[in-house]
Amino acid sequence: MTIYPAIDIKGGRCVRLTQGRADQETVYSDNPAEVAAEFKKAGATWVHVVDLDGAFSGESQNLGVVRAIAALGLKVQLGGGMRNRLAVERALGIGATRVVIGTRAAESEAFVAELAHVFADRIAVGIDAKNGQVAVKGWVNTTNQTALALAQRMDAIGVRTLIYTDIGTDGMLTGPNLAAQEAMLKAVKCGVIASGGVSQQSDVDRLNTLGKRYSNLDGVIIGKAIYEKRVDVAEALKTAAAG
C-alpha cells in the first residue's frame, strides 16, 4: 500500500478545505515545495497534489508550483482542472508522474478511453462521492451517477487507477468510510486509492488491513491529519511497508 501525502494548492499556497468548500480554507504553508521536501525527508516517494484553483476554474493555475515539487525527485500525482488533452500533456511535461481526471471522466468516457490508451498508467480517474453520487467541478455539483457505476465503466475502458474520495469524511478527521471503500474495491479490478477521513494512525492500520483482503487497494491519500500532526508520515510509511 502506497502512502500519498496530500498537498492542496490554492493561490500558490498549501491549504486544506473542509469537505471541498472554498469558504472553509485553512492555510498551512506559503511554500508547498517546502512541505513536499519534508514529506520526502520522511521517506515518501509519492505526493498527491491538487490544484484547487484548477478544479474550480477548469484550467490549471499552479503548474509552476507543481514543477518545483517534481524537481525534488518526488512522484507527483496531479489533479485539478485536467479537462482536455492539452492540459494533461502540459502537466506530464512539467514533471507530473500521473494525472488525475475528475470532472471530465463523469462527462465523457470517450475522452478517458483515449487518454488511458495513450498514457496508460500515467492516467488515473478521480471519483468523488457525496452520499454515493458522483460530485464534479471541485465538488460544487452532484450528478445523478453513482460512484460505483462510474467506477465500473472506467474499469471496463482500461483505466488502471481510481482515486475514490468520500466527500462526507474529507477533511473532517472522523475516520474513513471503510464500507464505501470496500464496496468500491469489490466493484472493480483496477487499482483503487482511498481518500477521505484519515484522522489517526489507527485509520492507516485499518486501511492496511483492508488492503490485505483486497489486493487492488493501491494506497491511501492522507491530508489534514498530517498537517494537524495526528498522523506521522514516517510512521504511516512504516505501516504500509510492513504490508
Q: Can you give the residue range of the structural domain that contains 182?
A: 2-242
The pTM score is: 0.94
SS3 content of the chain, % helix, strand, coil (to 5): 40, 30, 30
For CA atoms 155, 158, 160, 166, the dihedral sign is negative
- In angstroms, the CA 191 to CA 34 distance is 30
Res 234 pLDDT > 60: yes
Mean pLDDT score, 85-94: 96
Instruction: Match 491529519 to its residue by C-alpha cell.
Output: 225
Tens digits of per-residue pLDDT, 127-164?
999 888 898 765 667 878 999 999 999 999 999 999 99
Question: Minimum mean pLDDT among 38-42, 68-72, 124-128, 173-177: which range?
Answer: 173-177
Map grid coordinates 477521505 to a residue: 196
- pLDDT one-digit tens code per residue, 160-216: 999 999 887 666 677 899 999 999 999 999 999 999 999 999 999 999 999 999 999
Confidence bin at 111 (pLDDT 50/70/90): very high
The count of domains in the chain is: 1
- As a whole number of angstroms, the distance between CA 98 and CA 124 comes to 7
**What are the catalytic residues?**
8, 128
CATH number, residue 99: 3.20.20.70
**Position with higher pLDDT, 227 vs 20:** 227
Grid coordinates representing 196? 477521505
Percent above pLDDT 90 for the chain = 78
